[in-house]
Amino acid sequence: MRFYTGQHRFYCGIDLHTRTVSLCVLDPAGAIALEATLPPEPDRLLAALAPYRDGLVVGCECLFAWYWLADLCAAEGIPFVLGHALYLKAIHGGKTKTDTIDAQKLARLLRGGTFAEAYVYPKAMRATRDLLRRRTYLVRKRAELLAHLQMTFLQYNFTPPAQKLCYAANRAGLDLNVFPDPSTRSMLAADLAIVTALDQQIKRLEADLVRTAKVHDPQAFHRLRTVPGIGPVLALILLYEVHAIGRFADEGRFLSYARLVGGVRESAGKKKGTGGRKIGNAHLKWAFSEATCLLLRESPKAKSWLARKERRIGKKRALGALAARLARTVFHLWRKKEAFDESKFLAS
């Protein structure tokens, strides 16, 4: 966890919504200089902050509507701090909770040096990262529909298709007439039609991404491709989700950000369990999990390593350990600018 400790003349906390912007400006003594609720219009916001622009810093919570505010501050030369939503617990406490009170609490956290920071992702790469995330969403929806097709056969006690339905040629020969009810046939036909449409969209998105994505670090992209199981799309996801490997001080912070290690809860010398596994980047967690499964297909040595690990700690924990090892390897090859070395990867 990183806290913003910069010293400024004025501290502005903003509780940001799609229809309103509640802001609170504190002076150097901590007194409220301005409280206001405005529509989310850049001109209105700049006009309200104009008397406090000299030495002003702006902070808001990391919710989905922060893009325009960060871009506005960057264009106007105003320091901007993005708050980590899961760490800003202080704004959720208290008997009364309103947008005005939340904005004041954000400003006080900013002034007191306890404002937990999130990463302000660069504007130039933001749209491509969002496109990659949307592609992942469509892939998951396609998988849900294919699973529903399989489960419907089992639900009616019919033998499910032996061939993989992820391939269009196998779906073309699928006989839905085994179901006597026309409603069931219509339901499955709708699933097949949506899967076919998703196939076309996913292929189009992948072709556009591979062809037009601005790879900000081509060398890192090619080094990631040397890892068995990481293809062009997964390499792009890793590049765009991480952006700059230098923002992680060590491998532990990188693994924590990728949700591959859990936190420890301890009090008075006693361990109270673990927690915080959902703090971090869910897209990186998925990418490394996917890369681990693909790695096992391509590397017999990795499969042998996993089998030995399974006998000691079980399959689930062994897969988690392999994903963490892969992420640790990616961190070091990225930092050291080296290609993947399987002997180093599997060294104990």
Please name the residues in contact with 41: beta carbons below 8 A apart, sequence gap of 6 or more.
none
Position 282 scores a pLDDT of 93
Position 190 scores a pLDDT of 95
Backbone dihedral angles phi then psi of residue 137, each to the nearest 5 degrees: -60, -45
The whole-chain average pLDDT of the chain stands at 90
Position 173 scores a pLDDT of 80
Give the pLDDT confidence of 304-320 residue by residue, as tens digits.
999 999 999 999 999 99
Q: Which of 43-57, 123-137, 334-348 has the lowest mean pLDDT?
A: 334-348
Q: Which of 87-91, 244-248, 299-303, 304-308 has the lowest mean pLDDT?
A: 87-91
**Is the per-residue pLDDT at 89 higher than 80?**
no
Mean pLDDT of 288-307: 93
Q: What is the maximal distance between C-alpha atoms in the chain? A: 77
Question: In this structure, what DSSP letter does residue 120 have?
Answer: -
Position 168 scores a pLDDT of 87
**Is the per-residue pLDDT at 90 higher than 80?**
no
**Is the per-residue pLDDT at 259 higher than 80?**
yes
Radius of gyration (Cα) for the chain, nearest Å? Answer: 25
Q: How confident is the model at residue 35 (pLDDT cuts 50, 70, 90)?
A: very high
**Is the per-residue pLDDT at 257 higher than 80?**
yes
Position 348 scores a pLDDT of 61
Q: Which CATH class is domain 3-116?
A: alpha beta
Q: How confident is the model at residue 266 (pLDDT cuts 50, 70, 90)?
A: confident
More confident residue, 278 or 61: 61
Q: Which of 26-35, 104-113, 232-241, 255-264 has the lowest mean pLDDT?
A: 255-264
**Is the per-residue pLDDT at 276 higher than 80?**
no
Domain ranges of the chain: 3-116, 125-214, 219-345
What percent of the chain is modeled with pLDDT above 90? 68
Task: List own/partner pairs for 180-186 with CB under 8 A and 24 or more apart.
Answer: 184/152, 184/156
- The phi-psi region of residue 94 (left if phi > 0; otherwise alpha if psi is between -120 and 50; otherwise beta) is left
Mean pLDDT of 183-197: 94
**What is the amino acid identity at position 307?**
A
- Reported pTM: 0.86
More confident residue, 218 or 131: 131
* Beta bridge partner(s), residue 34: 25
CA–CA gap between residue 287 and residue 152 (Å, rounded): 29
Please name the residues in contact with 2: beta carbons below 8 A apart, sequence gap of 6 or more.
116, 117
Residue 14 burial by CB count (10 A; 0-12/13-18/19+): exposed, middle or buried? buried
More confident residue, 274 or 313: 313
Please name the residues in contact with 285: beta carbons below 8 A apart, sequence gap of 6 or more.
258, 259, 260
CA–CA gap between residue 102 and residue 88 (Å, rounded): 10
CA–CA gap between residue 234 and residue 135 (Å, rounded): 11
* Beta bridge partner(s), residue 77: none
Position 169 scores a pLDDT of 85
Q: Which of 27-31, 159-163, 177-181, 249-253 has the lowest mean pLDDT?
A: 159-163
Q: How confident is the model at residue 213 (pLDDT cuts 50, 70, 90)?
A: confident
In whole angstroms, what separates CA 192 from the centre of its chain? 29
